[in-house]
Amino acid sequence: MKTSFIKFASLALLLVGAVACKENKNEVDATEEKEVAEATVEAVTYTIDTEASNIAWVGSKPTEDHTGNISLKSGMVKVNGETLESGEFVIDMTSIEVTDLEGDKAASLKAHLEGTVEDQQTDFFNTPEYPTAKFVVTGIEGSTLSGNLTLKDVTKNVSFPVTVKYEGDKMMLDSEEFTINRTDWGIKYGSGTFFDIAANKAISDDIKLTVNLVGTK
């Protein structure tokens, strides 16, 4: 009986590990800020179409997920032939949208995330003080894009898988879903990693992101 239990427990741990690995397939290892990529003189500039571009996000607790979108304020990439050489994107953090809720509930979560509620300004993104975030390309190798991501006053280098396509005067950059750990940027509110919070009340440190950008010459 004891042997059977050990075998069952080992199998359960393997299954849990497999699920965790699958869920964290594109988990970002945030590192120190790196040197920004420089484009060649032959590179052509594509200006980001902010209306056609989007960043989708997923935040979670043990009992529920919340989903939404964030818009870009501006951006551009420089391309030589079909090789993306450099780029810079400004993210409008005041544009946070909640898509899984409606009405007052959506507005309340949006206000909390943006920090527009008294005594909650610093819980998450504190947009009154930091209305924008920024991503600056530091390199692209194969299908992996790397860049310095600045949230609030913290800059970390991140890498994630992307697909870049061209159609006439249009460039489309689409990422796979990837995961950042918000605490790498000092955003620790509700984190069970840093505070004594019941497991079913803690807010996940992970934020899942999917980037879809459209640029035109």
Q: Residue 199: what pLDDT?
A: 85
**Rounded to an integer, what distance in angstroms lies between the CA atom of residue 26 and that of residue 175?**
10
pTM for this predicted structure: 0.88
Determine the pLDDT at residue 24: 56
How much of the chain exceeds pLDDT 70, in percent?
88
3 located within any domain: no
Give the lowest-confidence range in 9-18, 104-113, 144-153, 162-171.
Answer: 9-18
The DSSP 8-state label assigned to residue 10 in this structure reads H
pLDDT bin (cut points 50, 70, 90) of residue 14 is very low
Query: What total number of domains does the chain contain?
Result: 1
In a domain, 9, yes or no: no
Domain-located, residue 100: yes
CATH code of the domain covering residue 180: 2.40.128.110
In this predicted structure, the answer to whether residue 214 has a pLDDT above a threshold of 50 is yes
Give the pair of three-digit tokens for residue 143: 């299908």
Please, what sign has the CA dihedral across residues 175, 180, 184, 190?
positive
pLDDT at 7 over 70: no
**Stretch 9-20: mean pLDDT:** 38
Closest CA to 215 of 7, 72, 19, 50: 50
Is the separation of the CB atoms in 48 and 173 below 8 Å?
Answer: no
Q: Tell me the pLDDT tens digit for each residue of 152-174.
A: 999 999 999 999 999 999 999 99
Is residue 15 a part of any domain in this protein? Answer: no
Q: Look at residue 193 and give its three-state secondary structure.
A: coil
Is residue 26 very low, low, confident or very high in pLDDT (cuts 50, 70, 90)?
A: confident
Each residue of 171-198: pLDDT tens digit?
Answer: 999 999 999 999 999 999 999 999 999 8
Given pLDDT bands bounded at 50, 70 and 90, which one contains residue 134?
very high
Residue 95: count other Cβ atoms within 10 Å of its Cβ: 20
- Residue 211: band (very low, low, confident or very high) from pLDDT cuts 50, 70, 90: very high
Residue 23 placed within a domain = no
Q: Does residue 183 belong to any structural domain of this protein?
A: yes
Note whether residue 2 is domain-resident. Answer: no
Note the pLDDT of residue 25. 63
* Confidence band for 10, pLDDT divided at 50, 70 and 90: very low
**More reliable by pLDDT, 57 or 25:** 57
Q: Is residue 94 part of a domain?
A: yes
Q: Which domain holds residue 76?
A: 28-216
Closest CA to 210 of 47, 83, 44, 58: 58
